[in-house]
Structure 1
Amino acid sequence: MQAPAGDRAAAVAGVLARCRELVRPAVVEAVGQLHPWTGEMAAYALGWSDTAGTPDPGGSEGKGVRQALAVLGAEAVGADGGAGVAGAVAVELVHTFSLLHDDIMDGDGLRRQRPAVWKAYGTGPAVLAGDALLALAVQRLAEAPGPWSAVAVRHLSGTLSTLVWGQAEDVRFERLPWSGPGAVGPEQYRSMAEGKTGALLGCAIALGAVLGGAQAGTVAVLERAGRHLGVAFQAVDDLLGIWGDPAVTGKPVHGDLRRRKKTYPVLAALAGGGPAARELAVLLESPGPLDGAAAARAAVLVEEAGGRSATRKEARRHLDAARHALREASLTPAAGADLDALFTYLLDRSW
């Protein structure tokens, strides 16, 4: 029998807290090696401090999902969680780097209910801070103790290439039409999401397994699980981007629609056809701003055309695929159960 949702959430919160307690000192130590200015911006981005460099009780460090996946990846193959710390540090730094640059490219002025780094410090400094974090991530992984650091760096390098590919697709989609020849379809979006979001989640769990001494086959299965998780995670984020509570997401209601962002719910709605889909296409292609009543109407049309339900099905399908991959691998029972609970929790964020 499955535990009640409240119990599952509490259990996952405990896992995340345990992994954060293990990894945070190593992240702090790594960031301390940066130039003081880029280090200050990194500390702000990580939610540790304000723009004056003083501790900020209102800052959010995020959930720490990626670093937890790296620790659990090591534990799942029978190693101590500490074996995955170098991988956890690397993916945390890469994730933070990607957020700094994403906010600039998307023009997002808020991140975790505070001004984004580029808003707080300027665009050039934010780019520089992101570059510093990326270089630091590779360096710290290359310096990981044990015989597996070179293999781990190769995994991270491949992931970075895939991450850039996914981001390039996401940016390119903004230039493509909503309908007709050249329009973006759900399949193209799914491929982009696997590159932009799934690759780093897959890398996180794979790095933990690599540094824990796992065989290549086990690493590949765990990486596949993480990639499916990433697509499900992105689908949930897309739901939150339209219908999420601003108090939770830190972004305006209907934010993705206001920006006319091509997300899975919108693309699935358009692909479904019917009167609601046709009205939605006209609204999205209109020259005027999509805000207030227009954005609210678009959200209604996306739901009427089946975009919301299709996205939930997409998330569930990839979650099931991720959990199936976990069952293919021979994992330690405790860490395997923690991974399964974490996977389910990430989907439940939107329900």
Structure 2
Amino acid sequence: MTLTLPPAEAARELVEPVLREAVGHLDPRIARVARYHFGWTDGDGRPRAAGGKALRPTLAVLSARAAGADLDRCLPAAAAVELVHAFSLLHDDVMDDDPVRRHHPAAWTVFGRAQAILCGNALFALALELLLEQGTPGYAAAARALNRATLSLIAGQTLDLEFQDRDDVTREECLLMSRHKTASLLACACSIGVTAAEGPAALAEALDAFGTEAGLAFQLTDDLLGIWGRPEVTGKPVLADLRTRKKSLPVVAALTSRTGAGRRLAEVLAMPGELTEADLRDAAHLVEQAGGRAWAELEARRRLDAAARCLDAADMPADVRAEFRNIARFITSRDH
């Protein structure tokens, strides 16, 4: 099969039918929540244009192409990674009380917290079912890899929740949390196509390493957007992460900077009650003044360079390597 569309659009067109068929096997009440969460329907079940960047399915499809595999053979793997990603977002929104997802009310605000949690659980189980029913050694290995990535993701979310109640979080701990919560699943997406197709282990390892570094760069960029991003880009209110006093990477870098600005930032974030718009603007300025923004931007570039070196070391077609590079640049150059 030859891709003629831009990679993300092509992956969405290839993988979405597999996702829709899989979701169709769920209990109808859970499937209704899943279809809404994927952006296929509104709260009343009416069709709507799907959202999302299809980043992980795109990476999984590219992974299969890197191994020279038939793309039809890799689609269940690409769909399974997206199912796990959807599961994680459903649970994240509940745990973080985030009311908006992709410019629409989050699923828990429409169907309730319990239904959103149950839907997330179902999507995770569905992902493993989709892999295991393929019945090949490659897909059994892919199921194990996805399960390991999910356990890592959950460990990262546990750390993220723990950080909310601590005032001594270090940059190293925050990077470790991001490696677990974000980079582990992205790394799995980058290598799962090779694994499912029973391609070279060295290629899977190189792409996993690429995904880890690119995933950290992605999280750093996302954290920058969480403070300085425009709502039309992020789908969330301006200064959203400061509003919730999230221990994001730029914030932690500022808090641990041992600067006057860092100490004043800690005082602002420790203020009781809801922060005012003036407080939020002041906090954003203090993060920047304490060097948190500059450090996050530099670290994102450093991780992107490391990801590129992983690609250089991998044996794959030149056009696939170029597409991996383009995606890495895209996810770290969104407007902030």
TM-score range relative to shorter protein: over 0.9
Letter in 2 for 1:191: L
- Residue 146 of structure 1 and its aligned partner are, at CA, apart by 4.0
1:88 to 2:69 alignment: no
Amino acid at match of 1:42: A
Name the stretch that deviates more: 156-165 or 192-201: 156-165
Structure 2 counterpart of 1:339, from 286, 307, 324? 324
CA distance in 1, matches of 2:77, 2:319: 20
- After TM superposition, give the deviation of residue 113 of structure 1 in Å: 1.1
Q: CA deviation at 1:319?
A: 1.0
Retained in 1: the 8 A contact 2:67–2:200? no
Q: CA deviation at 1:145?
A: 5.6
What residue number does 2:14 align with? 22
Name structure 1 gaps, 5 residues minimum. 1-11, 178-182
**What amino acid sits opposite 1:52 in the alignment?**
D
Aligned residues: 334
Q: Report the residue type matching 2:143 in the other structure.
A: V
| Structure 1 segment 52-131 matched on structure 2, within 5 A | 52-57=44-49, 60-131=50-121
State the partner residue of 1:320: 305
Match runs of 1:149-188 below 5 Å: 149-177=139-167, 183-188=168-173
Please report how far the alpha carbon of residue 206 of structure 1 lies from its aligned counterpart in structure 2 after TM superposition: 1.3
**How far 1:279 moved relative to its partner?**
1.1
**Match of 2:256, SS?**
helix
- The one-letter code of the counterpart of 1:249 is T
Moved more, 46-55 or 212-221: 212-221
Deviation track 1:48-89 (CA, whole Å, cap 9, x = no partner) reads 1011111024xx420000000100000012112223211111
| 2:210 counterpart (225, 228, 245) | 225
Which amino acid counterpart does residue 328 of structure 2 have in structure 1?
F
Does the 8 Å contact 1:142/1:149 carry over to 2? Answer: yes
**Contact 1:101/1:126 (<8 A) preserved:** yes
TM superposition shift of 1:184: 0.4
Post-superposition shift, 1:22?
1.1
Equivalent pairs: percent with the same residue?
44
Structure 2: runs of 5 or more not aligned: none
| Residue 288 of structure 1: how far off its partner (Å) | 3.4
Matched position secondary structure for 1:168 = helix
Whole-angstrom distance in 2 between the partners of 1:319 and 1:85: 27
Which residue, 232, 236, 259 being the options, matches 2:244?
259
Alignment of 1:296-307 (within 5 A): 296-307=281-292
What is the identity, as a one-letter code, of the residue corresponding to 2:247? K
Amino acid at match of 2:204: V
Asked if the contact 2:233–2:335 (Cα under 8 Å) also holds between the matched residues in 1, the reply is: no
What does residue 3 of structure 1 align with? none
Give the one of 271, 287, 312 matched to 1:286. 271
Cα pair 2:217 2:299 within 8 Å, conserved: yes
Matched, 1:212 2:197: yes
Q: Name the CA distance, whole Å, in 2 between partners of 1:262 and 1:13.
A: 39
Cα drift, residue 13 of structure 1: 8.2
How far 1:188 sits from its partner (Å)?
Answer: 0.5
One-letter identity of the residue aligned with 1:313: L
Give the residue type in structure 1 aligned to 2:74.
Answer: G
Equivalent residue, structure 1, for 2:128: 138
C-alpha separation between the residues in 1 aligned to 2:182 and 2:39?
21
CA-to-partner distance for each residue in 1:298-351, whole Å, 9 max, x for gaps?
Answer: 001111111111111111111111111111110111211111111111111145
Distance in 1 (alpha carbons) for counterparts of 2:253 and 2:142: 37
Q: Distance in 1 between matches of 2:198 and 2:51?
A: 29
TM-score normalized by the length of structure 1: 0.92
Cα distance between partner residues in 2 of 1:13 and 1:275: 51
CA distance in 1, matches of 2:206, 2:79: 22
Deviates more, 1:189-198 or 1:202-211: 202-211
- Which letter maps to 1:165? A
Cα distance per residue 1:159-189 (max 9 Å; x no partner): 1111111110001111111xxxxx0011100
* Ranges of 4+ aligned residues in structure 1 off by more than 6 Å: none
1:191 & 1:236 partners in 2: Cα distance?
A: 16
Whether the aligned pair in 2 keeps the contact of 1:91 and 1:204 (CA below 8 Å) is: yes
Residue in 2 that maps onto 1:180: none
Cα distance in structure 1, aligned partners of 2:227 and 2:332: 16
**Cα deviation code 1:254-275 (max 9, x no counterpart):** 1100111000111111222222
Describe the SS at the equivalent of 1:302: helix
